[in-house]
Amino acid sequence: MDIIINYWAVLACGIVSMVLGFVWYGPLFGKKWMEICGTTAQDLERRKEMQKKAGPLYAVQFVLTLLQAWVLAWFIGFLMQSGQSGGVHTAFAIWLAFLMPTVAAGAMWNADAGKVKWAKFLLQAGYYLVLFLIFGLILAMVL
Protein backbone atom coordinates (compact mmCIF):
# COMPACT_ATOMS: atom_id res chain seq x y z
CA MET A 1 0.00 0.00 0.00
CA ASP A 2 1.62 3.25 -1.13
CA ILE A 3 1.04 6.20 1.14
CA ILE A 4 1.17 9.52 -0.67
CA ILE A 5 2.21 12.38 1.57
CA ASN A 6 1.44 15.94 0.59
CA TYR A 7 4.62 17.79 1.50
CA TRP A 8 2.93 21.17 1.15
CA ALA A 9 0.52 20.11 3.88
CA VAL A 10 3.45 18.99 6.05
CA LEU A 11 5.08 22.39 5.50
CA ALA A 12 1.78 24.10 6.35
CA CYS A 13 1.72 22.12 9.61
CA GLY A 14 5.23 23.35 10.43
CA ILE A 15 4.20 26.95 9.84
CA VAL A 16 0.99 26.53 11.85
CA SER A 17 3.08 25.13 14.70
CA MET A 18 5.26 28.23 14.82
CA VAL A 19 2.27 30.59 14.63
CA LEU A 20 0.29 28.68 17.25
CA GLY A 21 3.32 28.58 19.56
CA PHE A 22 3.76 32.33 19.20
CA VAL A 23 0.08 32.98 19.99
CA TRP A 24 -0.25 30.28 22.69
CA TYR A 25 2.84 31.28 24.66
CA GLY A 26 2.40 34.97 23.80
CA PRO A 27 -0.96 36.75 23.88
CA LEU A 28 -3.07 33.78 25.07
CA PHE A 29 -1.06 32.30 27.93
CA GLY A 30 2.27 34.13 27.92
CA LYS A 31 1.75 35.95 31.21
CA LYS A 32 0.53 32.79 32.91
CA TRP A 33 3.46 30.82 31.46
CA MET A 34 5.96 33.40 32.75
CA GLU A 35 4.27 33.36 36.17
CA ILE A 36 4.44 29.56 36.30
CA CYS A 37 8.11 29.60 35.34
CA GLY A 38 8.84 32.31 37.93
CA THR A 39 10.03 34.88 35.40
CA THR A 40 10.92 38.33 36.76
CA ALA A 41 11.50 41.68 35.06
CA GLN A 42 15.26 40.99 35.04
CA ASP A 43 14.60 37.65 33.37
CA LEU A 44 12.68 39.46 30.64
CA GLU A 45 15.78 41.46 29.75
CA ARG A 46 17.86 38.28 29.59
CA ARG A 47 15.10 36.63 27.58
CA LYS A 48 15.23 39.39 24.98
CA GLU A 49 18.97 38.81 24.63
CA MET A 50 18.42 35.08 24.31
CA GLN A 51 15.74 35.58 21.66
CA LYS A 52 18.23 37.48 19.50
CA LYS A 53 20.38 34.33 19.42
CA ALA A 54 17.51 31.80 19.22
CA GLY A 55 17.34 31.53 15.42
CA PRO A 56 19.11 28.16 15.28
CA LEU A 57 16.85 26.79 18.03
CA TYR A 58 13.74 27.89 16.14
CA ALA A 59 15.14 26.21 13.03
CA VAL A 60 15.72 22.94 14.89
CA GLN A 61 12.23 23.11 16.41
CA PHE A 62 10.76 23.75 12.96
CA VAL A 63 12.55 20.72 11.49
CA LEU A 64 11.44 18.52 14.38
CA THR A 65 7.87 19.70 13.89
CA LEU A 66 8.09 18.87 10.19
CA LEU A 67 9.16 15.37 11.22
CA GLN A 68 6.16 15.10 13.55
CA ALA A 69 3.80 16.24 10.79
CA TRP A 70 5.35 13.88 8.25
CA VAL A 71 4.96 10.85 10.52
CA LEU A 72 1.42 11.90 11.42
CA ALA A 73 0.64 12.27 7.70
CA TRP A 74 1.89 8.74 7.12
CA PHE A 75 -0.31 7.34 9.90
CA ILE A 76 -3.35 9.27 8.71
CA GLY A 77 -2.77 8.18 5.12
CA PHE A 78 -2.33 4.54 6.11
CA LEU A 79 -5.40 4.46 8.32
CA MET A 80 -7.58 6.37 5.85
CA GLN A 81 -6.60 4.07 2.99
CA SER A 82 -7.50 1.05 5.06
CA GLY A 83 -10.81 2.72 5.99
CA GLN A 84 -10.08 2.66 9.69
CA SER A 85 -9.76 6.26 10.82
CA GLY A 86 -9.75 9.93 9.90
CA GLY A 87 -7.19 12.66 10.40
CA VAL A 88 -8.52 14.27 13.55
CA HIS A 89 -9.23 10.92 15.19
CA THR A 90 -5.71 9.67 14.44
CA ALA A 91 -4.10 12.93 15.61
CA PHE A 92 -6.10 12.81 18.85
CA ALA A 93 -5.18 9.17 19.47
CA ILE A 94 -1.48 9.91 18.96
CA TRP A 95 -1.70 12.93 21.26
CA LEU A 96 -3.53 10.88 23.89
CA ALA A 97 -1.18 7.89 23.76
CA PHE A 98 2.20 9.53 23.19
CA LEU A 99 2.34 13.31 23.61
CA MET A 100 0.10 13.82 26.63
CA PRO A 101 1.81 11.14 28.77
CA THR A 102 5.23 12.51 27.81
CA VAL A 103 4.22 16.06 28.75
CA ALA A 104 2.65 14.73 31.98
CA ALA A 105 5.87 12.92 32.93
CA GLY A 106 7.88 16.09 32.29
CA ALA A 107 5.54 18.05 34.52
CA MET A 108 5.31 15.44 37.29
CA TRP A 109 8.94 14.58 37.73
CA ASN A 110 10.44 17.92 38.62
CA ALA A 111 10.85 19.99 41.76
CA ASP A 112 7.93 22.34 41.09
CA ALA A 113 5.04 22.71 43.54
CA GLY A 114 1.86 20.75 42.85
CA LYS A 115 -0.12 23.65 41.38
CA VAL A 116 2.79 24.66 39.16
CA LYS A 117 3.12 21.09 37.88
CA TRP A 118 -0.55 21.02 36.95
CA ALA A 119 -0.42 24.44 35.32
CA LYS A 120 2.63 23.48 33.23
CA PHE A 121 1.00 20.22 32.24
CA LEU A 122 -2.29 21.84 31.25
CA LEU A 123 -0.65 24.60 29.23
CA GLN A 124 1.74 22.32 27.37
CA ALA A 125 -0.65 19.41 26.86
CA GLY A 126 -3.33 21.87 25.72
CA TYR A 127 -0.96 23.36 23.19
CA TYR A 128 -0.09 19.97 21.74
CA LEU A 129 -3.75 18.90 21.70
CA VAL A 130 -4.78 21.96 19.69
CA LEU A 131 -1.73 21.63 17.46
CA PHE A 132 -2.29 17.97 16.65
CA LEU A 133 -6.00 18.46 16.01
CA ILE A 134 -5.11 21.21 13.52
CA PHE A 135 -2.47 18.93 11.99
CA GLY A 136 -5.10 16.19 11.65
CA LEU A 137 -7.48 18.56 9.90
CA ILE A 138 -4.85 19.88 7.49
CA LEU A 139 -3.42 16.47 6.63
CA ALA A 140 -6.78 14.74 6.20
CA MET A 141 -8.03 17.46 3.87
CA VAL A 142 -5.29 16.74 1.34
CA LEU A 143 -5.32 12.93 1.42
* Residues 127-143: tens digit of each pLDDT: 999 999 999 999 999 87
Select from 18, 41, 21 the least CA-distant residue to 30: 21
- Quick check: is 69 in a domain? yes
Residues of the chain with pLDDT under 70: 1, 40-42, 44
- Quick check: is 21 in a domain? yes
- Quick check: is 2 in a domain? no
How many distinct structural domains can be found in the chain?
1
The reported pLDDT for the residue numbered 3 is 84
Are residues 83 and 31 in contact, defined by beta-carbon separation less than 8 angstroms?
no
- Quick check: is 68 in a domain? yes
Burial zone of 3 (CB within 10 Å; 0-12 exposed, 13-18 middle, 19+ buried): middle
The reported pLDDT for the residue numbered 84 is 73
Select from 16, 3, 38 the least CA-distant residue to 133: 16
- Quick check: is 1 in a domain? no
- Quick check: is 64 in a domain? yes
State pTM to two decimals: 0.88
Domain region containing 125 = 7-141
- Quick check: is 30 in a domain? yes
The reported pLDDT for the residue numbered 1 is 65
The reported pLDDT for the residue numbered 131 is 98
